[in-house]
Amino acid sequence: MNARVESIPAAKVAVAVRGLNVVYSTNAGEIPAVNNVDIDILAGKITGIIGESGSGKSTLMMGVMNAINKPGRITSGSVLVDGVGDMLKLDKERQRKARGKDMGFVFQAAQNSLNPLRRIGNQVLDLGRSHNVKDLRALIRRAKELLTRLGLDADRVLASYQHELSGGMRQRVGIMFALVLDARIVILDEATTALDMLSQASVLEIVRELHEERGLTTILITHDMGVVADLADRVAVMYGGEIVEQGSTEELLRKPKHPYTQGLIGAIPRITGDIDLAVPLKGSPPDVKTYMQPGCLFAGRCPLVMDKCRTERPTSRKLASGRDVSCFRVSDDD
């Protein structure tokens, strides 16, 4: 594996990802689900990773934890986690410890990945034991506090099996698992999508409070630009396995530069402020064939496409404003 970064850059970076590539082997060919991704996840901030379904958000974060399963594999890159090391080079045991203790996570599939045969409380104990937690009583106390905070009847939930909980309850339980070991870095993958709008807003508010109280570094994976607008300090926009634009949320929402980001934002009445002005993004995300073509993966859907876009693949450039954008059309003056 080719490690392009040897040390954490000077800014307060909790996770530095460089040149990360992840592919899935399928019958139709290899899908570059994460393609040459560079991102600095800043310590103490909430970073939103946004993009349509299939854009590679979950794969990127699974890659960060070096938890890609077959038929996927990491082909190159480095993931330097502050205080831990390169997740792609650590020995298996140190990686396992980092997942949970340094990086708490709840993945989209997590609400189904609870053990159906064990009560939630026992699963908290299992987690504690697997991370050599000495004071298991204190761990259960923390689990209860978190569950209560998340609006659940903690005693009842700890005594329940997964099938006794609704989808929304399981998502809250997932968030509890991500936080219960006091990890500093927390990855929440569509952690509130099974909740109705009101519950989603209140759970996200609690996530924000916990983030601030604990001084966490939080990564929120979502397809909902509204969630990013409400919570994230920084945002990375993914398309076809690449980060096409990243920067501070405030600036990116005020002046999106990549045509895909513009399309994503323009599709949301809550952000455009006028339902009549909201224009849905046309076309569909890249498929296996599109990946194989030269040129920009967004070219087929792009309102600003030029000839060059169909033959050359743009790479990410840092603009004077500090924004990273991967598009031939974008210049510093825009």
Inter-axis angle of helices 120-130 and 136-149, nearest 10: 130
Count CA within 13 A, CB hemisphere, residue 246. 20
The residue range among 52-60, 144-152, 195-203, 270-278 that interacts with ligand ATP, by the rule CB under 6 A, is: 52-60
Give me the least distance between CB of 47 and ligand ATP, in Å please. 15
The residue range among 54-62, 86-94, 212-220, 326-334 that interacts with ligand ATP, by the rule CB under 6 A, is: 54-62
Site string for ligand ATP, 9-28 (x = CB under 6 A): ---------------x-x--
Give me the least distance between CB of 240 and ligand ATP, in Å please. 8
Question: And the tokens for 22?
Answer: 């992840």
The answer to whether 31 contacts ligand ATP (rule: CB under 6 A) is: yes
Tell which one of 48, 54, 168, 247 touches ligand ATP (CB under 6 A).
54
User: 50 near 235, Cβ under 8 Å?
Assistant: yes
Question: And the tokens for 91?
Answer: 């020995």
Question: And the tokens for 49?
Answer: 């990773």
Give me the least distance between CB of 302 and ligand ATP, in Å please. 19
What whole-number distance in Å separates Cα of residue 14 and Cα of residue 104? 13
The answer to whether 55 contacts ligand ATP (rule: CB under 6 A) is: yes
Question: And the tokens for 20?
Answer: 């990360």
Please provide residue 68's backbone torsions phi and psi, each rounded to the nearest 5 degrees. Answer: -80, 130
Q: Are strands 103-106 and 185-189 parallel, antiparallel or unpaired?
A: parallel
Give me the least distance between CB of 245 and ligand ATP, in Å please. 15
The answer to whether 53 contacts ligand ATP (rule: CB under 6 A) is: yes
What whole-number distance in Å separates Cα of residue 17 and Cα of residue 64? 7
Site for ligand ATP in 273-292 (CB under 6 A): none
Tell which one of 78, 108, 111, 160 touches ligand ATP (CB under 6 A).
108
- Residue closer to ligand ATP by CB (options 147, 265) is 265
CB neighbour class for 70 (10 Å; exposed up to 12, middle 13-18, buried from 19): exposed
Tell which one of 2, 9, 12, 71 touches ligand ATP (CB under 6 A).
71
Question: And the tokens for 57?
Answer: 């958000």
- Give the chain's radius of gyration (CA, Å): 20
Give me the least distance between CB of 259 and ligand ATP, in Å please. 19
State the amino acid at position 3 in one-letter form.
A
Count CA within 13 A, CB hemisphere, residue 54. 8
Q: How many residues are there in the chain?
A: 334
The answer to whether 51 contacts ligand ATP (rule: CB under 6 A) is: yes
* Rounded (5°) CA angle 281-286-291: 150
DSSP state of 27: T
The answer to whether 48 contacts ligand ATP (rule: CB under 6 A) is: no
Site for ligand ATP in 218-237 (CB under 6 A): 223
DSSP state of 68: P
Total residues contacting ligand ATP by CB under 6 A comes to 16
User: 13 near 83, Cβ under 8 Å?
Assistant: no
Give me the least distance between CB of 283 and ligand ATP, in Å please. 15
- Residue closer to ligand ATP by CB (options 179, 237) is 237
The answer to whether 33 contacts ligand ATP (rule: CB under 6 A) is: yes
Tell which one of 35, 36, 47, 58 touches ligand ATP (CB under 6 A).
58
Tell which one of 48, 56, 128, 247 touches ligand ATP (CB under 6 A).
56
Give me the least distance between CB of 188 and ligand ATP, in Å please. 13
Residues that bind ligand ATP (CB under 6 A): 24, 26, 31, 33, 51, 53-59, 71-72, 108, 223
